[in-house]
Amino acid sequence: MTRIVAQTPSTSVDLLALAECVEKFPSKTVVLLGDFVADEFQFGDISRVSREAPVLILRHRETQVVPGGGANAANNLAALGARVLLITAVGQDAQGDALVEHFRVKRADISGIVRVKGWTTPTKTRFLAGWPHTVGQQVLRVDREPQAALPEAARRKIQQLLSAKIRSASTLAVSDYGFGVASPDLVRHAAKRAKRGLAVTLDARYNLADYAKAGILSATPNEAELEALHHTTIGANFDELTRCGRATLAAMKLEALLVTRGRDGMALFETRGRATRIPVHGSDQAVDVTGAGDTVLAAYTLSLACGASPLEAAHIANIAGGLVVMKRGTATVSRAELLDAIRRDAGGSGS
């Protein structure tokens, strides 16, 4: 069989090998530990300008609640064909009900979702304004967050569930949005009790460095998170990105660090000192970047679980990210879509 290789000035990958890797996704079981967020979209038609203040009045048309945060990562893992074991906490509220019901309908394992009385399910409500038959534009976002830390009883329950479910998993994906479900101590405790060789991937919004001794194989921060960690500005300065990337890789003792860079694509840092630029896949004019990092975590994690090298996994994740940012709202990429995109690239490379 002739192998078709895609090449850029910085790297090359075997596209048929990428497709073969994606074909294996359904054979993997992934534990997703993380903060579930309800992404709520309020759609309204513009009625008029208010007489009380210079603001639009929207006539409510529709409300949608979809998985966000770690729930979006879980949703993407399921869409890519994996068996997903969910470990999280949500409130006993309407948003928590909506998230549980979403995964129940998908026939995911929801036994690891802890319902916490009196705790608020993190919710991001976006108001989108438009006219009939037009695409709504976001005019306001309101966030509702827990006003107290996750109760100790809920944390103990999460630890018990994680220790039990991780025994049957191919890998552990951690999605830490700062709401208290995931923590370095919890991941460290679970990794010690998991079967040998379990790969752990991490997407942490705020406390990436705290996971330095938690047994993480690879992490997927975005460039802004890396800037915050190192108190710097990267911009177009690839040398500064390289300095920050290599410093993070060494400090956290990772095998690989994948940094997402929006329209600038990705950068992969590996233990052998190699820094690889990966150009953005498809158009650099994204329709909506909401939740793209969750898609990247899902595709990257599954690829590593299937035996891909960090470079191959990064390319698969880059393609998945390029597909999802062309969709509106918090979206997923299916395994079929990902395979089609890889095969189209292979066809183009061979022309």
Give catalytic residue positions: 294
Q: What is the DSSP letter of 350?
A: T
264 C-beta neighbours (distance < 10 Å), count: 19
User: In the structure encoding, which two tokens stand for residue 79, read together?
Assistant: 């869409």
Integer Cα distance of 324 and 280 in angstroms: 12
Q: Are residues 37 and 122 in contact, defined by beta-carbon separation less than 8 angstroms?
A: yes
Partners of residue 172 on adjacent β-strands: 31, 200
The secondary structure of 162-215, three-state, reads HHHHHHHCCEEEEEECCCCCCCHHHHHHHHHHCCCCCEEEEEECCCHHHHCCCC
Q: Would residue 114 be called left, alpha or beta, if left means φ above 0 and alpha means ψ between -120 and 50 degrees?
A: beta
| CA quadruple 292, 298, 304, 307: dihedral, nearest 10 | -120
| CA quadruple 327, 172, 203, 99: dihedral, nearest 10 | 50
Beta pairing, strands 266-270 & 199-204: unpaired
